[in-house]
A and B are shown apart, each in its own frame.
Chain A
Amino acid sequence: MKLTITHGDKYLCAAIGGDIDHHTASEIRIRLDGEIERSMPSMLILELSGVEFCDSSGIGLILGRQRLMESLGGGLAVKNPSPPVRKLLMLAGLTRLIINDDRKGAK
Chain B
Amino acid sequence: MSKKQYNNSFKLKIPALSRNESFARSAVAAFAAQLDPTVEELSDLRSAVSEAVTNCIVHAYADTIGEIEITARLYDGGIYIKVRDKGCGIEDIKQAMTPLFTTSQYGESAGLGFSVMESFTDRLKVSSTPGRGTTVIMEKKLGKK
Contact = CB atoms under 8 A, between A and B. Distances in A.
Interface residues of B, number: 26
Nearest to A1: B22
A59 interface: yes
Given A22-B57, A60-B108, A83 B40 contact: yes
Nearest to B17: A23
A61 interface: yes
B108 A92 contact: no
Interface string A61-83: 10110010000000000000001
B120 to A, nearest CB: 8
Contact of A55 (B19, B40, B50, B108): B50
Nearest to A54: B47
Interface in B35-69: 40, 43-44, 46-47, 50-51, 54, 57-58
A83 B119 CA distance: 15
Nearest to A60: B110
Interface of A: 19, 21-23, 25-26, 29, 53-57, 59-61, 63-64, 67, 83-84, 87-88, 91-92
